[in-house]
Amino acid sequence: MKARLNRFSHRPLALAAGGAALAFLMVTAPASAQQRDPAYAAARASGQVGEKTDGYLGFPAAPSAEVRHMAEDLNIKRKAVYAQKAQANNATVEEYAFTAGCLAIARTVPGEKYQAPDGSWQTRGAGAPLRDNRCP
């Protein structure tokens, strides 16, 4: 039971290495992703989608079919990257996705939506976002 509660703490080196690689990718990828897909940038800026603690996009309010499809497509692509990076860093997909979620939430800008550790949707203000205490 104790191992279950601490499932993210037993692989700190793998997650740290993965987090560093993911941080590099996420610093360079968001700008290019938003340039390629103005619909994503608009949905994110308007609060129709937000970053979840599990590393995927979520919906603070009921989305249109268009926004849902776009976010689901991006989540499929994220999961593929997470699976590849997790394998390379000897971590599970869930562990890697969690770390990615921490970094994505930290990267939000004022006005964007994100999921707080308690599961509630928050709007990023001028200060740092609320993040899980297990975040790197």
**The model's pTM:** 0.75
Token digits for 43? 């949905």
Residues 123, 48 contacting (CB under 8 angstroms): no
- Domains of the chain, by residue range, sit at 12-123
pLDDT beneath 70: ranges in the chain: 1-36
Please report the pLDDT score of residue 32 as a whole number.
43
Q: Give me the helices (H) in the chain, please.
A: 2-5, 12-36, 38-45, 65-88, 93-106
Residues 32, 95 contacting (CB under 8 angstroms): no
Please report the pLDDT score of residue 46 as a whole number.
95
